[in-house]
Structure 1
């Protein structure tokens, strides 16, 4: 049952009430599931939800027997449901996993300190060990101090970078090489839209992967709830009477993600399947990124290897047909290659200017091509190589990782203590 903290907003309460309004207590019928909108008995809904997560796990080969896995636990509905489902499926299907809760304390008073109490209760309820890693321990800063220094605008960038690195460093402290997070279909769809609006196709490919990292990486991550709707997760937590914390972060209203979330919710009202459609479209677009491929669930039973940042070219559960659009993509790739071969025979009149000369003669002058990234010319530009940060040792494609770069700026602006 949700724990209503002192900062629980009316908007958040009304949102969950709207989702739970579809549950008929007398008949024990759930009014919503997935993109179909079908009605199921409560017990059937719970079974279907768990079976779908099990299908995602097995078809994508997320785990192997005896693996030690850290669950990124925030105390919210997503991570709480993920911990509950993994415990249930691990016992039911014999995954043979050693599950541990890993929680990050960002140092936000009135929010994270309260949610950590929920995580501690979850650890006792699910009989799982708990490891808490704090920003102040890793970086010497709490998010309250960061916001006090830079303001609320852009603070989510700092928190996102710090949190991703903190999860990896926390896993290394535990000797764990696999972290699972509670990202759901709504989260992935939001990320797809955000990267499209930014024009960041490389990040789009990574964000649509159900697994990032491989045996060469220090820590790999996976999203077992990638194809689960947020509404399904709320209903599952409600009917299972799970203990979770439902307060939104007090700094999140300033985040760009909120705009993408609002747009997706509007689209979902018009087309219930919009969320998984966006996820599937993001996977398809990611396959067009040179050298990248999107990860998806191997619905046809093919083996799904785990590359550094993506998986093989297989249609995911978000696909309505469940089939792989391999023929379409192969045809498109062939067409693109043919276009490149004939490019030398074509003249782009939009890049030429005719200049009149004396005697009626003229010459053609080429206009330089305008590019958003002058450093990368063509699709075969230099690729980034994963190494380690020279300061903290964290894996990075740059000499100095993004977290250390942000910390350098913060430390310059840190108020000097008067002695």
Structure 2
């Protein structure tokens, strides 16, 4: 049988089947298409301005490594005029973060970018090893996520930078949307789906240039560009609620490849219905993407390489999953076509169902008023920020040193 030709160039042999839409592309066309899509996200949402100094949140994992590589390429190709810096957080996890930081250091040399490393011990007086030793493994990701978000902002302030980009991808955003829906927490939809968080009043603005990029395609890009990245699961990463949302989304993706982007777009649409929301998706109509002010976000992910979930066998797992996708295409059913005709009921027999409200009137969500933490000065909607509250509990439980 003759080899399948690339759907884009029509000349080279197709080597890659895109997880996003199943288009068959050659290596060079896939890399070009991936970079063009990220460029479209950046320009349509007006994420940067010429001369801006931008910190790339670098963990050494595939997402942040691909983000650094793509931004360097696009910055040179399209003359963004950005001053790019790598900013890495050392949580203090021996056997995990110390190894991934070696990858970040190599990336800094490979991409010719300055590197700043900020440690939990420097900022909080605690490492994650010490935190886990004190509280155990249950709930430790809450501490790490809160500390890591604040550490990125503090690290950026040390460098005099007001814009941090992170490697959050479409899978991450879809997982967060699903978690918020399953918890009934619509108030968080606006900030979890927004491509930009923070505004002129915030110390640091954040953005997600890879928001519409599939995790599988990020792995493919890293593989075919032969990028140097670290892929080991965090030793403290537990089986959390996010894992359940992730499994549900992966099952949907097997039947419908566009499920991830469908969930992201649905989350964006639903977020517009939330009273305090001003978010918008990719600003393809030429308007700048609005930003969402976030005081203390629990984040799309907090601990290192791909939120501590990368197991290192991405390529083999992906090929297996793509074969399953092909076999499952025939199982997809249009449920709208299968519904039986509706039988109208007379008004006399109609029953009005009560609205479930637990006896409490519907609450209109109020807009958060941002201030600063009384203890550390970090932006917070409360008098004391979440990080300081967590530190207070840790310090109370710190073992006393006998002299």
- TM bucket normalised to smaller: 0.7 to 0.9
Residue 401 (str. 1) matches residue 378 (str. 2):
no
Alignment of 1:141-220 (within 5 A): 141-220=126-205
Q: Is the 8 A contact 1:209 1:309 kept in 2?
A: no
Tell me which residue corresponds to 1:386. Answer: 370
Work out the CA distance in 1 between the residues paired with 2:94 and 2:150: 21
Residue 414 (str. 1) matches residue 398 (str. 2):
yes
Q: Is the 8 A contact 1:65 1:95 kept in 2?
A: yes
Q: Is the 8 A contact 1:149 1:414 kept in 2?
A: yes
Please, what is the CA RMSD of the aligned residues?
2.0
Tell me which residue corresponds to 1:129. Answer: 114
Question: Whose radius of gyration is greater, 1 or 2?
Answer: 1
Residue 99 (str. 1) matches residue 84 (str. 2):
yes
Q: Is the 8 A contact 1:179 1:220 kept in 2?
A: yes
Tell me which residue corresponds to 1:333. Answer: none
Residue 249 (str. 1) matches residue 237 (str. 2):
no
Any idea what the Cα deviations from partners look like across 1:251-309, whole Å, max 9, x if unmatched? 12333211211111111111111100110111111111112133310123334343535
User: Aligned with 2:238: secondary structure?
Assistant: helix
Work out the CA distance in 2 between the residues paired with 1:412 and 1:307: 35
Offset, 1:349: 8.1
Residue 39 (str. 1) matches residue 27 (str. 2):
no
Tell me which residue corresponds to 2:358. Answer: 370
Q: Is the 8 A contact 2:141 2:237 kept in 1?
A: yes
Any idea what the Cα deviations from partners look like across 1:129-152, whole Å, max 9, x if unmatched? 000000011011111111111111
TM-score norm. by structure 1 comes to 0.77
Work out the CA distance in 2 between the residues paired with 1:305 and 1:382: 19
Offset, 1:28: 6.1
Tell me which residue corresponds to 2:97. Answer: 112
Q: Is the 8 A contact 2:15 2:25 kept in 1?
A: yes
User: Aligned with 1:69: secondary structure?
Assistant: strand
Work out the CA distance in 2 between the residues paired with 1:254 and 1:135: 23
1:378–1:79 Cα change, 3 Å: same
Alignment of 1:15-54 (within 5 A): 29-54=14-39
User: Gapped runs of 5+ residues in structure 2?
Assistant: 1-11, 296-351
User: Aligned with 2:85: secondary structure?
Assistant: strand
Tell me which residue corresponds to 1:330. Answer: none
Alignment of 1:75-90 (within 5 A): 75-90=60-75
Offset, 1:184: 0.3
1:183–1:28 Cα change, 3 Å: farther
Work out the CA distance in 2 between the residues paired with 1:306 and 1:186: 21
